[in-house]
Amino acid sequence: GEDVEQSLFLSVREGDSSVINCTYTDSSSTYLYWYKQEPGAGLQLLTYIFSNMDMKQDQRLTVLLNKKDKHLSLRIADTQTGDSAIYFCAESISQAGTALIFGKGTTLSVSS
């Protein structure tokens, strides 16, 4: 079945790098996404990667995809207090009109 797993919490110090990990089970995933949710707000798309790519970099964000192990990670360089939020990993699978399958989210806490 479809399932996306994430660790629930991550705590880092300001200026350090953060790495948020995600595993998924459906090998037919076509795109994998990272969303950010700040308190009281909706989910904001951060970045996404097509399943035939290994890496995508966008400013402070680096996404790594290991398709063999079905493992996705999001690295945030030079983490700032404003990065404190819940980060959701999601996959879309290759069926017409299928919605995204979300993980339960990782709460990132950044201390100064």
Chain residues binding another protein by CB under 8 A are 30-31, 33, 35, 40-45, 48, 88, 92, 94, 96-100, 102-105
Q: Decide whether 79 or 92 has the Cβ nearer to another protein.
A: 92
Residue 75: strand pairing partners: 19, 62
Q: Of the candidates 76, 88, 86, 75, which has an alpha carbon nearest to the alpha carbon of residue 35? A: 88
User: How far is C-alpha 50 from the geometric centre of its chain's CA atoms?
Assistant: 13
Q: Decide whether 82 or 99 has the Cβ nearer to another protein.
A: 99
Question: What is the smallest separation between the CB atom of 65 and another protein, expressed in angstroms?
Answer: 15
Q: Of the candidates 78, 102, 98, which has an alpha carbon nearest to the alpha carbon of residue 90? A: 102
Under 8 Å between Cβ of 4 and 31: no
Q: Decide whether 70 or 103 has the Cβ nearer to another protein.
A: 103
Question: What is the smallest separation between the CB atom of 67 and another protein, expressed in angstroms?
Answer: 16
